[in-house]
A and B are shown apart, each in its own frame.
Chain A
Amino acid sequence: MSHAAVAHHTSTGLDSRKIAFWTFIGSECLLFGSLIATYLVYEGKSVSGPTTHEILNIPLTSISTFDLLMSSLAMVLALAAVQRGERLWARVWLGTTALLGAIFLGFQAFEFTHFVHEGLGFTTNLFGSTFFTLTGCHGLHVFVGVIWLTTLLVRSFQGKLGPEKALNVEIAGLYWHFVDVVWIVIFTVVYLIQTTPLPST
Chain B
Amino acid sequence: MATTALPHTETTAPAAPTGIWSWITTTDHKRIGVLYGVTAFIFFLIGGLEALLIRLQLGSPNNTLVSAQVYNQLFTMHGTTMVFLAIMPLSAAFFNFVIPLQIGARDVAFPRLNAFSYWVFLLGGLFINFSFIAGPLFGAGHLSVAPNAGWFGYANLTSDQFSPGPNIDFWVIGLQILGIASLAAGFNFITTIINLRAPGMKFMRMPVFTWMSFVTQFLIITAFPVITVGLVFLLLDRVFGATFYNVSAGGDVLLWQHLFWMFGHPEVYILILPAMGIVSEVLPTFSRKPLFGYAVVVYSGILIGIVGWGVWAHHMFATGLGPIADSVFSASTMLIAIPTGVKIFNWIATMWGGRLEFKTAMLFAIGFVAMFIIGGLSGVMHAAPPADLQQTDTYFVVAHFHYVLFGGAVLGLFAGMYYWWPKVFGRRLREGLGKTHFWLMMIGLNLTFFPMHFSGLLGMPRRIYTYGAGLGLDTFNLISTVGAVVTGLALLVFVYNIWASRNNHDTSANPWEAATLEWSIPSPPPVYNFAVVPTVHNRLPLWTADGMTPSSQPAVPPAPVHVPGGSHWPLLTAIGILIMGVGALMHHHFLPSLVTVLAGLAVAVFSIYSWAFEPFEV
Q: Which residues of B contact A11 (CB under 8 A)?
A: 194-197, 201
Name the residue on B nearest A128 (C-beta). Answer: B243
Main secondary structure of the interface of B (DSSP, over half): helix
Task: Evaluate whether A123 and B241 lie within 8 angstroms (CB atoms) in the complex, with A3-B2, A23-B186, A38-B255 already known.
Answer: yes
> Which of B186, B194, B243, B617 is close to A19, meaning CB atoms less than 8 Å apart?
B194
Interface readout for B244-275 with A: 1 if CB under 8 Å, 0 if not? 10001111100100010010000000000000
Residues of B within 8 A of A27 (CB): 183, 186-187, 221-222, 224-225
B109 at the interface (CB under 8 A from A): yes
Within 8 A of A (CB), among B569-618: 609, 617-618
Q: Would you give the shortest CB distance from A115 to chain B, in whole angstroms?
A: 15
Q: Is A35 an interface residue (CB 8 A)?
A: yes
A1-49 residues with Cβ-Cβ distance < 8 A to B are 2-4, 7-8, 10-12, 14, 16, 19-20, 23-24, 26-28, 30-31, 34-35, 38, 41-42, 45-48
* Main SS at interface, chain A: helix
Q: Are B240 and A30 in contact (CB under 8 A)?
A: no
Given known contacts A11-B194, A16-B196, A23-B191, is B1 in contact with A47 (CB within 8 Å)? no
Q: A126 vs B2: C-alpha distance in the bound complex, in angstroms?
A: 52
Among B213-243, those with CB < 8 Å from A are 221-226, 228-230, 232-233, 236, 240-243
A88-109: CB near B (< 8 Å → 1, else 0) gives: 0000000000000000000000
B3 contacts chain A at the CB level, 8 A cutoff: yes
Check if B1 sits within 8 Å of A2, measured CB to CB.
yes
A137 to B296, CA, bound (A): 42
How far is the CB of A172 from the nearest CB of chain B, in Å? Answer: 12
Q: Find chain A residues with CB under 8 A from B190 CB.
A: 19-20, 23
A 107-141 contacts with B by CB, 8 A: 122-123, 125-126, 128-130, 133
A70 to B187 CA separation, bound complex (whole angstroms): 30
The answer to whether A34 and B226 have CB atoms under 8 Å apart is yes
CA distance A38 to B259 in the complex (A): 9
B110, CB-defined interface residue at 8 Å = yes
Q: Is the CB of A20 within 8 A of B249?
A: no
CB of A131, distance to nearest CB on chain B (Å): 11
Taking the closest CB of chain A, its distance from the CB of B210, in whole angstroms, is: 13
List the B residue with the shortest CB-CB distance to A124. B243
Contacts of B3 in A (CB 8 A): 2-4, 162, 164
Q: How far is the CA of A122 from the CA of B236 in the complex (A)?
A: 10
Q: Give the residue of B191, B226, B609 whose beta carbon is less than 8 angstroms from that of A16.
A: B191
Q: In the complex the two chains form, is B194's CB within 8 Å of A12's CB?
A: yes
Q: How many residues of B contact A (CB 8 A)?
A: 45
Across the interface, name the chain A residue whose C-beta is closest to B254.
A41
B204 to chain A minimum Cβ distance, whole angstroms, is: 13
Q: Would you call B229 and A129 a contact (CB within 8 A)?
A: no
Contact B232 A133, beta carbon cutoff 8 Å: yes
The reply on B188 being an interface residue by CB < 8 A is yes
Q: Is the CB of B229 within 8 A of A35?
A: yes
In the assembled complex, the Cα of A198 lies from the Cα of B495 at a distance in Å of: 67
Per the bound structure, the CA–CA distance linking A59 and B194 in Å amounts to: 45
B243/A129 in contact, CB under 8 A: yes
Q: Across the interface, do B229 and A34 meet the contact criterion of CB distance under 8 Å?
A: yes
Chain A residues with Cβ below 8 Å from B197 are 11
Q: For residue B262, which residue of chain A has the nearest CB?
A: A34
Given contacts A20-B188, A133-B236, contact A31 B228 (CB under 8 A): yes
Chain B hits for A46, CB < 8 A: 249-250
Contacts A23-B191, A123-B241 given; does A16 touch B110 at CB 8 Å: yes
Task: Give A123's nearest chain B residue, CB to CB.
Answer: B241
A4-B2 in contact (CB<8A): yes
CB distance from B194 to the nearest CB of A (A): 6
Query: Contact: B249 with A125, CB < 8 Å?
Result: yes
Question: Are A129 and B242 interface neighbours, CB within 8 A?
Answer: yes
**Inter-chain contacts of A129 with B (CB < 8 A):** 236, 242-244
Question: Which chain A residue lies CB-closest to B245?
Answer: A129
Q: Is the CB of B242 within 8 A of A123?
A: yes
Interface pair A47/B618, CB less than 8 Å apart: no
A34–B258 Cα distance when bound, in Å, is 10
Measured between beta carbons, the chain A residues less than 8 angstroms from B618 are 8, 16
What residue in chain A is nearest B259 (Cβ atoms)? A34
Q: Nearest Cβ distance between residue A168 and chain B, in whole angstroms?
A: 9
Please indicate the chain B residues that have their CB under 8 angstroms from the CB of A162 in the complex. 3
- Given A45-B250, A123-B241, A126-B251, is A31 in contact with B196 using a C-beta cutoff of 8 Å? no
**Which B399-449 residues sit within 8 Å CB-CB of chain A?**
none
Check if B191 sits within 8 Å of A30, measured CB to CB. no
> Are A41 and B255 CB-contacts (below 8 A) given A129-B244, A133-B236?
yes
Residues of A within 8 A of B222 (CB): 26-27, 30
Q: B249 — which chain A residues lie within 8 A by C-beta?
A: 46-48, 125-126
A16/B187 in contact, CB under 8 A: no
CA–CA, A16 to B100, complex, Å? 15
Q: Mark A68-102, 1 if CB is under 8 A from B, else 0.
A: 00000000000000000000000000000000000
Chain B residues, CB < 8 A from A34: 225-226, 229-230, 259, 262
Q: Tell me the A residues contacting B by CB distance below 8 Å.
A: 2-4, 7-8, 10-12, 14, 16, 19-20, 23-24, 26-28, 30-31, 34-35, 38, 41-42, 45-48, 122-123, 125-126, 128-130, 133, 151, 162, 164
Extra A-B contacts (8), CB below 8 Å, given A16-B618, A162-B3: A4-B3, A12-B194, A12-B195, A20-B109, A26-B221, A30-B221, A30-B223, A128-B243
Chain B residues engaging chain A, CB cutoff 8 angstroms: 1-3, 109-110, 183, 186-188, 190-192, 194-197, 201, 221-226, 228-230, 232-233, 236, 240-244, 248-252, 255, 259, 262, 609, 617-618
- CB<8 Å pairs between A and B, sample of 8: A11-B194, A31-B228, A35-B229, A38-B255, A42-B251, A48-B249, A122-B240, A151-B609
